[in-house]
Structure 1
Amino acid sequence: MAVDQTPLQLGIRQAGEKLRAQDFAAAKALLTTLSARAPKIAQIWSMLGYVHASEKDYGKALNFYYQSYLIDPENVPVILSIAKLQKLLGFKEAHLRTLETALKADPHDKPALQLYGEGKAEEEDPEAAAAAFSAILRVAPDDLNALYGLAFAHENMGDNGAAADLYGKIITSQRGNEDKSAALGAACKIASFPHQHIVHTEELEHLLDLAFNSSRRIKVMFARAAIHVRAGANHEAWEQLLLANNAMRSEELARKALAEKASVLSHVRNLARQSEAAQDRQAIGGYPRPVFILGPSRSGKSLLEKMLATNDSVRRSYEADIVDKCLSQLAQELALTEPLTAWRLPERLKKPLSGIFGSELKRVAGGRRFVTNTNPSYIENVGLLSSISEDALFIFVSRNKQDQAFRIFEKLYARGNSYAYDMNSIFSYIDMYTELASQWTRLFPSRCLSVTYEALVTGDAEEIRRVAEFAGMEFTSRSIEIHSDAGCSVPFQEEIERLLHTSG
């Protein structure tokens, strides 16, 4: 034994050796003895946390790491271990709060910033995610994970130009790397962007050729179709789209998705019209006003949200699932074992949900008077949202059905949207969504407004003024860059009609 090592130090060193040898049973026994002998040593508790995490006993691991944190609250690696376990256990809000604690201890800690950015991206808060990834890139400008995270955040904010530049930087940075996986993913992303953001180079084509023979084969088919569409090679584009959508199609999942939407529609058709008091178009009740911008995928919701957000009093929440978050909190408070369904929520639970929803709106708003949201699934929840928020408003965005169906058919979705790979299912989905919007307008006429994509992309200031006045916002004449793709389906109308009339 080294002369400068105490028995306690020797025991900790031996436990570390056992951990490196993955002899967790011996390490656990030794560390348990040491913790009883020296309960104020943070390292012992964190090592016990590591033992239990390695054995996938995450609940105990979390307790041990927390004990270490109480002794040494500035230890960022321990705080991050707590955050990772919270995420594994499904404690999303606690996970983000713990990461904020880590960043208070060290605002420049790269792993903490990365995890925080990823957490905010999952929470549909791309602005906060972008801030975290940008902080990493200020000191490590070539960090691949941060580049990807920042590109994805800009994509979610609708800033495809900035996203394309970042994905291009990833491709450039990987030229000398034999592992092309990062470059392949970036190439697929760039290829699927609107025309004005595609940099059609030999390098991009080469990467797509490589990706076609990898696990990204389906992504490449959608990406190549996008390139052909923008280049006007309509026959080649359609062939790629047929291959891609056939590979993704699942009749069973599509039927299930449409049946669920039809069930909601049937329920709404049978509702009686609500009596509505005249409401002043100002946020009331001390809460920000929620403005839900609703429409099927590719309808122009994000464009309208971006237009409204030129007003400094508006906070964009993108597609954040605020309702699901509030329902989960209510279920936890009531100790329920089954999840709550928004459009079937019992009347007695609406009042407590209203308080939770208002608090969540305040948190999301960050001091602003309006919160916009573009989650398309909220078309099912208009009735509930109207009952738990006395000043919630709903703007329904629609567009030419053929154009919309084509844009949906052209897109590979990260998750869900199982109806999107069959043209008949797409048209059925759009029809049901449109009728739901009509039924909600019948039930809540003073809360609902309809606009069209075609009107928005003209840049008509009066149309935006009409929307702003409906929401109770001051009209702002600040403009944004608008790229219209009205008429995008025209070159493919015969092919679309052929699919619509093809059975099976």
Structure 2
Amino acid sequence: MDEAEALRQQGKLIQAQRICETVLQRYPDYVGMLHTLGLVLADRGHFKQSLAPLVQAAMLNPRDWRTLTALSGVYLRLGAAETAIRTLEQAREIEPEDASIHATLGEILYATREYEAAAAAYERALSRAPELHDIHIKLAECHLHMGRAAPAAKAALAVLERDPSKMSPLDILSRVPDDLHDIDVLRRLDAARNNSTDSDEVWGARVAFTRARLLDAKGDHDRAWTNLETANAHKARLFAEEQARDAANRDTFLERLASVKPLPEPKGKPEAGHTVTLYVLGPSRSGKTTAESIVATLPGVSRGFENRLLEVAVRQTFQDAGLLSRDWIGDLPIPLEKPFQDNYARELKARAADAAIFTNTHPGHMSAAVRLAAFVPEARFMLMRRNVDDLALRIYMKNYDSGNSYAYALPAIRAYLDWYNAMIDAAMQLMPGRCAQVSYEEMVADPSCVRARAAALCGIEDGGGDLPAVPDDRGCADPYSQWMKSAG
């Protein structure tokens, strides 16, 4: 077993698997070997196959928190986040102080976009094992998603203190203001190559995105644009087929929306005691997180960030009805409206407790808005617009972890933004009394307008008070106008 685990740690997974399977043929209830085999299969990406040995190991030794933690991680990879959390809670009852349990919980919560709770779990893990570099980076990513640059920089700097040549903290620091650190990130990027196993092409694209952000901040627009073209050319090739498919689906959806009848305007304020879900929707980089932080200064607001409660409620409704699993509300049959409402209310209560308003900034919910408004009377929508050139540039400068297939070619970005703005126009017509528009430009000029419109939309008083600082990124595309025009 020790030999198999050593091989696993060295990445020699085929040899490790052979040892495990050979031993288990003779000793099928050897818990330690079942556990190791499950880890090996998971490391190989064979998550379904890894379930059997890990479940058997947990069945034979239900108090082995290591097996329960590993099993939880596999459940997450298979899309069963709730089961992953429940399994991890069992592990935490047995061994509440283990850092890996809290780190795995953070990973689950991060995957479900529960950033506040994920950050708390990562903090608990680091309080027990501060040497976990990857957890510092994941904590920094949580803070960036929540719009908290200072703690993100702090987490990245904690990694650089231990390993000055790692790429991940350098990437984090390139996304925060310069006054939060004194690191020359550009100078350190080349040294970080020694620690990476990425191919030259993948590494080159990753570093080019980071360089472009840094050079843009320094006003070196010629070199910034050169790096942007390098970075996006690689990603555009990877996402070409997906981009074409997504564009066709968007056009089809917009055509279908043209036949939808407007919803009746709501009468009066949302019912007392019911939490209003305020969806702050707009394209990536349009200022949703900033707008959400402003709305959060209203009394009784709980921030949900890019929460997935809608998809969870939809999927649960399909599964309860014995139907194929789906997570888009547009697929939900009308007869399942009441079960969906019950599931939605339960998921909302679990996240928002007794808050008067629960915000959600998931950009993908734009295509679900009209159907959601029909099924959930308390749903409200704040729709974000931004200067198209500025928005296109900031999307073009972003290296997305997944999705956003349109983001790596300017013509595709502009087509996507045209579609999104058409969706906003349609929503304003189809959901009177449930929507309000805010532009990034007016939010920067007068942040209080966001709070005032949110308060009016949700039927509460705007009591005034301090507002968070709003960074001014207006006109960011001006230095790049000649290149953007030639690129489409």
TM-score, with structure 2 as normaliser? 0.86
| Deviation of the 1:382 alpha carbon | 0.9
Q: Which amino acid aligns with 1:61?
A: P
**Partner deviation per Cα, 1:46-70 (whole Å, 9 max, x = no partner):** 7656667767744543543443455
**Partner deviation per Cα, 1:345-402 (whole Å, 9 max, x = no partner):** 3212222212111111111113322211111111100122112211100110111111
Find out whether 1:227 has 2:209 as its counterpart. no
User: What does residue 36 of structure 1 align with?
Assistant: none
Q: Secondary structure at the match of 2:265?
A: coil
Q: Secondary structure at the match of 1:169?
A: helix
Equivalent of 1:162, from 148, 151, 156? 151
Find out whether 1:450 has 2:433 as its counterpart. no
| Deviation of the 1:24 alpha carbon | 3.5
User: What does residue 236 of structure 1 align with?
Assistant: 223
Q: Which amino acid aligns with 1:211?
A: R
Structure 1 vs Structure 2 CA RMSD: 2.9
Q: Which amino acid aligns with 2:412?
A: S
Find out whether 1:491 has 2:474 as its counterpart. no
Q: Determine the C-alpha separation between the residues in 1 that align with 2:151 and 2:38.
A: 43
**Partner deviation per Cα, 1:77-129 (whole Å, 9 max, x = no partner):** 24324423433544221101221232233332111011011111111011111
Equivalent of 1:22, from 19, 22, 33? 19
User: What does residue 112 of structure 2 align with?
Assistant: 123
Equivalent pair of 2:85/2:105 in contact (CA under 8 Å) = yes
**Gapped regions of structure 2 (runs ≥ 5):** 6-15
State how 1:353-432 maps to structure 2 within 5 Å.
Answer: 353-432=340-419
User: What does residue 254 of structure 2 align with?
Assistant: 265
Distance 1:239 1:346, change over 3 A: same
Find out whether 1:313 has 2:313 as its counterpart. no
User: What does residue 9 of structure 2 align with?
Assistant: none
Q: Which amino acid aligns with 2:167?
A: L
Q: Determine the C-alpha separation between the residues in 1 that align with 2:408 and 2:474.
A: 21
Equivalent of 2:133, from 135, 144, 158? 144
Moved more, 323-332 or 44-53: 44-53
**Partner deviation per Cα, 1:271-325 (whole Å, 9 max, x = no partner):** 11222341314555xx421110010111111101111123452222211222222
User: What does residue 255 of structure 1 align with?
Assistant: 244
Distance 1:291 1:238, change over 3 A: same
Find out whether 1:67 has 2:59 as its counterpart. yes
Equivalent pair of 2:275/2:378 in contact (CA under 8 Å) = no
State how 1:437-476 maps to structure 2 within 5 Å.
Answer: 437-475=424-462, 476=464
| Deviation of the 1:29 alpha carbon | 4.3
Q: Determine the C-alpha separation between the residues in 2 that align with 1:49 and 1:168.
A: 35
Q: Secondary structure at the match of 1:445?
A: coil
Q: Secondary structure at the match of 2:131?
A: coil
**Partner deviation per Cα, 1:149-178 (whole Å, 9 max, x = no partner):** 211111111112221222122122103xxx
User: What does residue 185 of structure 1 align with?
Assistant: 168
Q: Secondary structure at the match of 1:166?
A: helix
Distance 1:445 1:460, change over 3 A: same
Distance 1:463 1:149, change over 3 A: closer
Q: Determine the C-alpha separation between the residues in 2 that align with 1:344 and 1:240.
A: 41
Q: Determine the C-alpha separation between the residues in 1 that align with 2:141 and 2:272.
A: 32
Q: Determine the C-alpha separation between the residues in 2 that align with 1:101 and 1:275.
A: 47
Equivalent of 2:467, from 465, 479, 485? 479
Q: Which amino acid aligns with 2:486?
A: R
Distance 1:69 1:271, change over 3 A: same
Distance 1:24 1:412, change over 3 A: closer
Equivalent pair of 2:189/2:207 in contact (CA under 8 Å) = no
Distance 1:141 1:352, change over 3 A: same
Equivalent pair of 1:192/1:222 in contact (CA under 8 Å) = no
| Deviation of the 1:261 alpha carbon | 1.4
Distance 1:499 1:190, change over 3 A: same
Find out whether 1:205 has 2:187 as its counterpart. yes
Moved more, 95-104 or 483-492: 95-104
Q: Determine the C-alpha separation between the residues in 2 that align with 1:458 and 1:108.
A: 48
Q: Determine the C-alpha separation between the residues in 1 that align with 2:50 and 2:241.
A: 37
Distance 1:198 1:408, change over 3 A: farther
Equivalent pair of 1:273/1:442 in contact (CA under 8 Å) = yes
Moved more, 271-280 or 302-311: 271-280
Moved more, 118-127 or 49-58: 49-58
Q: Determine the C-alpha separation between the residues in 2 that align with 1:54 and 1:274.
A: 53
Q: Determine the C-alpha separation between the residues in 2 that align with 1:282 and 1:198.
A: 48
User: What does residue 279 of structure 2 align with?
Assistant: 292
Q: Determine the C-alpha separation between the residues in 1 that align with 2:313 and 2:324.
A: 16
| Deviation of the 1:491 alpha carbon | 1.3
Q: Determine the C-alpha separation between the residues in 1 that align with 2:480 and 2:365.
A: 31
Equivalent pair of 2:315/2:325 in contact (CA under 8 Å) = no
Q: Determine the C-alpha separation between the residues in 2 that align with 1:227 and 1:381.
A: 36
Q: Secondary structure at the match of 1:291?
A: strand
Q: Secondary structure at the match of 1:396?
A: strand
Q: Which amino acid aligns with 2:66?
A: P
TM-score, with structure 1 as normaliser? 0.84
How many percent of aligned residue pairs carry the same amino acid? 25
Equivalent pair of 2:137/2:168 in contact (CA under 8 Å) = no
User: What does residue 7 of structure 1 align with?
Assistant: none
**Gapped regions of structure 1 (runs ≥ 5):** 1-11, 33-43
Distance 1:499 1:82, change over 3 A: closer
Distance 1:122 1:383, change over 3 A: same
User: What does residue 37 of structure 1 align with?
Assistant: none
Q: Which amino acid aligns with 2:21?
A: F
Distance 1:307 1:101, change over 3 A: farther
Equivalent pair of 1:290/1:370 in contact (CA under 8 Å) = yes
Q: How many residues align?
A: 462
Q: Determine the C-alpha separation between the residues in 2 that align with 1:483 and 1:340.
A: 35
| Deviation of the 1:198 alpha carbon | 6.7
Q: Which amino acid aligns with 1:79?
A: L
